[in-house]
Amino acid sequence: MISGYLITILITIVIYAMLAHSLNIITGHAGQISLGHASFFGIGAYTSAMLYTEAGFPFWISVPMAAVAAGIVGALLGIPCLRVRDDFLAITTMGINFVVEAIFLYLPFFGGAMGIGGINLPGWFGREMTKPEYFILILVVFGLLLLLDRRMGRSWIGLAWASIREDELAAGAMGVDVVRFKVLAFILGSAIAGLAGGFYAHFLTFIMPQNFGFGQSIVILSMVVFGGIGSRWGPIVGAIILGVLPEVSRPIMEYRILIYGILLLGMMRFQPGGLLGPESILPRILRRSVYGLRGQG
C-alpha cells in the first residue's frame, strides 16, 4: 500500500497538472498571456467550499458548480481583457488576481484571512472516499479533459485558436471571429481551473486566500513554460517536475518562488519552446546518449 505522504504528493501533482493544462488552453492554444490564473483556481475552490459548508450541497454538485462559476467569471473577465494585448493583458490579468485575492481576504463572507475549514473528502457508497480512491477519481477526470483537449486540437476551434495566436489581425481578415474564440478559450481555461480548485478544496479540507495569490499564478505559469507552451504533454511534464522538486529537498521548498523565477528566465532565454516544445534540446540529448557523439541528426 502506498503511503499517505506519497498519495498526497500525487494528488497535488494531478491538481497542478490540471491547472497547467487549463492555463495552456488560454496561453498556449489561444496565445493570450495570463498572470492571474490562480484567481480562477481560487474562485473554484471558494465556490465549492461555500456550497459544501454553507449551503450543504454534496461534493458531486459543489465541484461541477465550481467549474461553472469559474467559467462564468472567466467569461466576464475575459471580455474586458479582449481590448488589451500582450504585456497589457499580462498586467490586467495580474491585477485581476490581486483583486480576487483581496476579496477573499477582506470580505468576512468568505471567512477572511482564516479561510474556510470543514470541507471533507467526498462520500460514496455510504462512507468517505479514501485518498487513493480520490486520486483515481481526479486522474480519471483529468484523463477525460485530455481527451477533450485532443479533440479540440484537431477541430476547427483548435485551428482558429492557432490562427489567433499566430496573428490576430490576419485571423480577423480571414474570417475568424476573434472575439468568440478568445472568450471561448477564457471560459474553458477558467472552468477547468475552477474544477481543479474544487478538487483542491475537498482534498485540503481547508482553504485560505493565500493559496490563490499571484505567487500561485507564477507557479502555474512556470509549469506551462517549463514543459512547453502549447504542447499537450509539456504542461503536465512541467507540473510533475516542478511539483516533485520541492518535495525532494526542503531547501528548494523555501526558495521555491526564487527557483521558479530563475527557471522561467532561463527557459525564456535558452528554451523558449519548453522541454517538450519545438526546438527542444531534449531529443538531441537523447539521441546523443543513444548513438554517442557521432550520432546522425
* Number of residues in contact with another protein under rule CB under 8 A: 27
Give the three-class secondary structure for 207. strand
CA-CA distance, 161 to 153, in Å (whole number)?
9
Q: Smallest distance, Å, CB 72 to another protein?
A: 17
Q: Between 74 and 197, whose beta carbon lies closer to another protein?
A: 74
Write the binding mask 234 to 273 for another protein: x where contact by CB under 8 A, - elsewhere.
Answer: ----------------------------------------
Site string for another protein, 182-201 (x = CB under 8 A): --x-----------------
C-alpha 89/C-alpha 172 separation (Å) is 19
Q: How many CB atoms lie within 10 A of CB 114?
A: 11
19 near 37, Cβ under 8 Å? Answer: yes
Q: Are 26 and 74 in contact (CB under 8 A)?
A: no
Question: What is the rounded radius of gyration, in angstroms, for the C-alpha atoms of the chain?
Answer: 19
The answer to the question of residue 79 lying near another protein (CB under 8 A) is: no
Collapsed DSSP state (helix, strand, coil) of residue 90:
helix
Tell whether residue 159 is a contact of another protein (CB under 8 A). Answer: yes
Euclidean distance between CA atoms 229 and 244, whole angstroms: 20
Minimum Å gap between C-beta 18 and another protein is 21
Of 108-116, 174-182, 242-250, 257-265, which part binds another protein (CB under 8 A)? 174-182
Q: What dihedral do alpha carbons 170, 171, 172, 175 form, nearest 10°?
A: 120
Applying CB under 8 A, does 157 fall inside the site for another protein? yes
Select from 2, 113, 128, 154 the one that contacts another protein (CB under 8 A): 154
Residue with cell 543513444: 290
E strand or H helix that includes residue 127: strand 127-128
- Determine, following the binding rule CB under 8 A, whether residue 290 of this chain makes contact with another protein: no
Q: Does the footprint of another protein cover residue 162 (CB under 8 A)?
A: yes
Under the binding rule (CB under 8 A), the answer on residue 175 touching another protein is yes
User: Burial of 3 by CB count in 10 Å (0-12 exposed, 13-18 middle, 19+ buried)?
Assistant: exposed
Q: How far is the CB of 167 from another protein (least distance, A)?
A: 5
Beta bridge partners of 128: 123
- Residue number with CB closer to another protein (45 or 164): 164
Q: Is residue 144 close enough to count as binding another protein by CB under 8 A?
A: no
Residue from 50, 90, 171, 207 that binds another protein (CB under 8 A)? 171
Please, what is the minimum distance in Å from the beta carbon of residue 156 to another protein? 4
d(CA 201, CA 195): 10
User: Interface with another protein by CB under 8 A: which residues?
Assistant: 151-152, 154-160, 162-163, 166-167, 169-180, 184, 278
